A = this chain, B = another copy of it.
Amino acid sequence: MIRTRVASIVLEPLSKAVATATYSHAAFRHSSSTPASSHFLRRNFSSTGIRMSNTMKALVFAGKGQPALQDRPQPTILKSTDAIVKMVKTTICGTDLHILKGDVATCDTGQILGHEGVAVVQSVGGGVQQFKPGDKVIVSCITSCTSCEYCRKGMPSHCVDGGWILGNTIDGTQAEYVRIPHADGSLHPMVKGATADEQVMVSDVLPTGFECGVLNGKVSPGNSVAIVGAGPVGLGAMLTAQLYSPSKIIMIDLDANRLEMAKTMGATHGVVSTAGTDVVAAVKALTDGKGVDTVIEAVGVPATFELCQEIVALGGTIANLGVHGTKVDLHLENLWDRNITITTRLVDASTSPMLIKLVDAGKLKTAGLVTHTYKFSEMGQAYDTFGAAAKTNALKVIIDF
């Protein structure tokens, strides 16, 4: 762990920042009374209505199934490499739902959730070289010290003082203010060629889909790709797969609506995987009976991982994107001689600067991933909407501060 002297901390007047983000208790109650979120918020909200200038609102993992908007002290610089940012927009990830289910052992009760968003830098420690107060930034879901063994070999996902820590082992981005450790390796400057909403997709969705799905899956010109699961990260893979010009992108999902949406963003085929559909036969029919060169698993349950094994072509690759909670069956009795590759990866976000260039140039359009927008005071409703995606057709839910 890196412990250094905190020097030259630059702070904007807190009062202004807090004023911008303070809710009246009345407004909050009003929000919480909508049917979709009332249960969620009534159970968890424990605000006294009294706000002090050094507190903030934050969405906290208050226990299994209990997301709670709570008052928390504002974060402060703890190390010289820290920045404090004021969130402008955040979003909810499927991983946040996993945490709320109790599936993520590393995340303790009491943690502020969230690892995505765009923000404005409020203050920086003396060791921060790339950012200054007032800079508009994209927060990476991966914190990188840039100098440990793993960072230096291009694998900051496993940075010894970082990796996926935001909203996991340290407080995250679903709060008005966030402490970003190793700011130089963990923030990116926002660009002008895309909206702030679009740039939120660079925090996690785009690099995860690209690195864990497209790069690991060795998508290449003329090849065929199947993506099992048309949720946000599956669609992030679908969007970035097109950077390598595959001949076919076959999306597979239970939800016909998502498949139609995927087709408007570049998928060439959709296969609805409802009970009774022979998905394997459908994929084989689209690939001269051979299966696909790249299969991207973007669900995270044993059944979908087994499907991937049935549709991968000789010499093909199964790239895992899903967050798995249990072991799966690997049919080596069928696969041992089929020259296949299976990959797993926690996103390194090392390609984010490249992806930002494409977003800025308008060559990677992420606006279609955003289906809903809420105010931060409506976080309960946002979680309800995102958690019921099958009903609400939600993909990414943008939260405005």
Q: A315: nearest residue on chain B (CB-CB)?
A: B155
Instruction: Say whether B314 contacts A155, CB under 8 Å.
Output: yes
Q: Is A140 an interface residue (CB 8 A)?
A: no
Pick from B150, B315, B335, B340: contact of A314, CB under 8 Å: B150
Report A347-361 residues with CB < 8 Å from chain B CB: 348
Binds B, one of A19-27, A85-93, A326-334: A326-334
Q: A103: nearest residue on chain B (CB-CB)?
A: B333
List residues of chain B with CB within 8 A of the CB of A164: 337
List residues of chain B with CB within 8 A of the CB of A155: 314-315, 339
Kindly supply a per-residue 1/0 record for chain A positions 301-327, scoring 1 wherever the CB is within 8 Å of any chain B CB and 0 otherwise: 000010000000011000010111111
Q: Is A338 an interface residue (CB 8 A)?
A: yes
Q: Is A346 an interface residue (CB 8 A)?
A: yes
Q: Is A274 an interface residue (CB 8 A)?
A: no
Q: Is A188 an interface residue (CB 8 A)?
A: no
Kindly supply a per-residue 1/0 record for chain A positions 178-213, scoring 1 wherever the CB is within 8 Å of any chain B CB and 0 otherwise: 000000000000000000000000000000000000
Q: Is A344 an interface residue (CB 8 A)?
A: yes
Number of interface residues of A (CB under 8 A): 37
Q: A338: nearest residue on chain B (CB-CB)?
A: B344
> Considering the chains assembled together, what is the distance between the CA atoms of A329 and B72 in angstroms?
43
Instruction: Say whether A300 contacts B345, CB under 8 Å.
Output: no
Instruction: Say whether A158 contacts B305, CB under 8 Å.
Output: no
Q: A322: nearest residue on chain B (CB-CB)?
A: B336
Q: Is A341 an interface residue (CB 8 A)?
A: yes
List residues of chain B with CB within 8 A of the CB of A348: 339
Report A77-108 residues with CB < 8 Å from chain B CB: none
Instruction: Say whether B320 contacts A305, CB under 8 Å.
Output: no
Pick from B150, B329, B340: contact of A344, CB under 8 Å: B340
Instruction: Say whether A332 contacts B337, CB under 8 Å.
Output: no
Q: Is A343 an interface residue (CB 8 A)?
A: yes
> Considering the chains assembled together, what is the distance between the CA atoms of A153 and B335 in angstroms?
19
Q: Is A144 an interface residue (CB 8 A)?
A: no
Chain B: minimal CB distance from A247 (Å)? 15
Pick from B325, B338, B340, B345: contact of A337, CB under 8 Å: B345
Chain B: minimal CB distance from A171 (Å)? 20
> Considering the chains assembled together, what is the distance between the CA atoms of A332 and B299 in angstroms?
12
List residues of chain B with CB within 8 A of the CB of A320: 332, 336
Q: Is A174 an interface residue (CB 8 A)?
A: no
List residues of chain B with CB within 8 A of the CB of A285: none
Q: Is A122 an interface residue (CB 8 A)?
A: no
Instruction: Say whether A343 contacts B344, CB under 8 Å.
Output: no
Report A233-292 residues with CB < 8 Å from chain B CB: none
Pick from B157, B324, B329, B338: contact of A339, CB under 8 Å: B157
Instruction: Say whether A336 contacts B158, CB under 8 Å.
Output: no
> Considering the chains assembled together, what is the distance between the CA atoms of A314 and B332 in angstroms?
22
Q: Is A11 an interface residue (CB 8 A)?
A: no
Pick from B158, B327, B332: contact of A333, CB under 8 Å: B327
Instruction: Say whether B341 contacts A346, CB under 8 Å.
Output: no
> Considering the chains assembled together, what is the distance between the CA atoms of A332 and B297 in angstroms?
12
Q: Is A342 an interface residue (CB 8 A)?
A: yes
Pick from B216, B327, B340: contact of A343, CB under 8 Å: B340
Instruction: Say whether A330 contacts B333, CB under 8 Å.
Output: no
List residues of chain B with CB within 8 A of the CB of A338: 158, 344, 346
Chain B: minimal CB distance from A59 (Å)? 23
Interface residues of A (CB under 8 A from B): 150, 153, 155, 157-158, 164, 216, 300, 305, 314-315, 320, 322-333, 335-346, 348
Nearest 7 pairs between A and B by C-beta? A337-B346, A324-B332, A330-B330, A342-B342, A339-B345, A324-B336, A327-B331
